[in-house]
Structure 1
Amino acid sequence: MTPESKRTGLVAVKVGMTSTWDEHGVVMPLTVLWVDDCEVVQLKTEVNDNINSLQLGAGSKRAKNVNGRLLGHFANLGVPIKDKLSEFRVSEDALMPVGTPLNVSHFVAGQYVDIQGVSKGKGFQGVMTRWGFRGGPASHGATKSHRGAGSTGQCQDPGRTFKGKKMAGRMGNKKRTVQSVWVWKVDPARNLMFVLGQVPGNRGGFLRVKDAIRKKPDMDRTPFPTYILPQDELWEDMPVLTAPARKNYWDRFNKAM
């Protein structure tokens, strides 16, 4: 492992949200992530594909619900049909063979991760809901126009509406990334991971989870390239790991008092 080593992430499912209290009595909103049968589907190397990357698959799907190209892709690689595919760029020393399973033990409690997903779709919304405009007066002759955007263009010069103008339109349903999300607990037996705060997407949606860019993990604590379960152990026998309370948050609370 070199200082430039970069390992893969995980493909997880958003289960929902819950909350708990830390040892100081501070409530923590948590999002529960489930890693559903995640494994390496395809291996790409610099020699053959001009890139070092791993394609991961998660979940399962019936063959009748998959198009012919994907069926051929899974058949040629000799892996089961997956519901979600996602590719991660890695360093050369982090490459793993096809079929390698990945568990939530890939991450450790207390580290930070970046989580990417598709945000909830809100449909077509006006400027007040989409951009937070205050709207116009709702009296004195304003007939059904108090929630309008108002003027969007100019007069004769330049006589057009600039690109990127905040107007009504489709809201949500876009790829979004939440950076530096704190991992509070890792449960290898149930393949669950609890992270602090919210993540994009609906319940049941797939997410990309990888090491944080801004708050890099301690490579001496995190398994590289991933956690490999010993032959004489079972996932059900592994303990639940919980991170200690964050001291920086507690210090800020004491200063406010």
Structure 2
Amino acid sequence: MSSIRIGLRAGISTQTRAFSSSSSQLATWTHNSLRTGVIAKKKGMTAMWDEWGKRIPVTVLQLEQNQVVQVMNEEKHGYNALQIGCSDRSGKNTTNPLKGHFEMAGVAPKAKLFEFRVTPDAILPVGTELVASHFIPGQFVDCSAPTIGKGFQGAMKRYGFGGQPASHGTSVTHRSLGSVGQRKDPGRVFKGKKMAGRMGGDQSTVQSLKVMKIDNSMNLIYVKGSIPGADDAYVKVRDAVKKRGDQIAPADSLPLPFPTVDPALVKAMPREIVAKTGGSDPFVVKD
């Protein structure tokens, strides 16, 4: 298993071939370009250590048969986007309308479909496969997924209320949320009051997470920190919206693979590409 530190893609050019049905010219990534995202499966968390021996918690995401299923354009649909499908499934578990949709695209039935807005220069033809090297180590991404459902919970667990005093005078109301309204005026509980109810299962996005490592063989993306969702949940991963331009990745790694990575380059890459942490030794005490 070979592993390298990313410089200029370890000497491999990041200039990638544009997948266009009308032209085979090289596409140029600009600061205003908006690439498509991918759909990954959350596989759990582990840890990495940088060159200083500092532990970095990471979440492992795996891409499973990500393909472009449909192209939305300005003329026909009013906006530019790509519909991405992931995780092949059998036709018997697919409804007839979806079967026709996938047959028209010429791809196998997919378990999950999501749309990603893109700029016109980042449109990919139907059937294009997206792999882990669509992202580069060191760049920042946004991860979106439904949070873990907790069921019906009280106000203390749901909102972090302090509860009632733990004294002898308090009887069977230690975890009560307390008063929820006023007196005769207004005589009601205002809408939006934090009370007991269903917790979790809401769409959540964690922004500007750093990609620490790419595994080209297993199609894995190692993202620094935690992301929403339970294990095996589908996660939408795309370029960070708050890190546009030169801030989205290290200067020696730009430009990003645009509109996605060339499959020929992936075969020439090492199995693992690790982000460079740099900086000074955090364990050295300065005078």
| Structure-2-length-normalised TM-score | 0.82
1:226 to 246, 253, 260: 260
Q: CA deviation at 1:60?
A: 1.6
Q: In percent, how many aligned pairs have the same letter?
A: 46
Distance in 1 between residues matched to 2:143 and 2:185, nearest whole Å: 45
Distance in 2 between residues matched to 1:234 and 1:214, nearest whole Å: 28
CA RMSD of aligned residues (A): 2.1
**1:131 and 2:159 equivalent?**
yes
Distance in 2 between residues matched to 1:191 and 1:91, nearest whole Å: 25
| Structure-1-length-normalised TM-score | 0.91
Tell me the SS of whatever aligns to 1:121: coil
1:245 corresponds in structure 2 to 277
Tell me the SS of whatever aligns to 2:187: coil
Distance in 2 between residues matched to 1:125 and 1:164, nearest whole Å: 16
2:138 corresponds in structure 1 to 110
What amino acid is the match of 1:240? E
Q: CA deviation at 1:141?
A: 4.0
What does 1:145-164 correspond to in 2, within 5 Å? Answer: 145-164=173-192
Q: Are the equivalent residues in 1 in contact too, given 2:143–2:206 (CA < 8 A)?
A: yes
Distance in 1 between residues matched to 2:283 and 2:157, nearest whole Å: 33
What does 1:1-257 correspond to in 2, within 5 Å? Answer: 1=28, 2-216=30-244, 217-218=248-249, 220-230=254-264, 235=267, 238-245=270-277, 247=279
Tell me the SS of whatever aligns to 1:130: helix
Unaligned runs of 5+ in 2: 1-27
What amino acid is the match of 1:241? I
Structure number with greater CO (CA < 8 Å, separation at least 6) is: 2
Q: CA deviation at 1:120?
A: 0.4
Q: How many residues align?
A: 253
- Distance change in 2, residues 1:66/1:141 (3 Å): farther
What amino acid is the match of 1:223? P
Q: CA deviation at 1:238?
A: 3.6
Distance in 1 between residues matched to 2:181 and 2:187, nearest whole Å: 7
Unaligned runs of 5+ in 1: none
Distance in 2 between residues matched to 1:183 and 1:125, nearest whole Å: 34
Distance in 1 between residues matched to 2:285 and 2:202, nearest whole Å: 39
What amino acid is the match of 2:47? S
Distance in 1 between residues matched to 2:41 and 2:191, nearest whole Å: 36
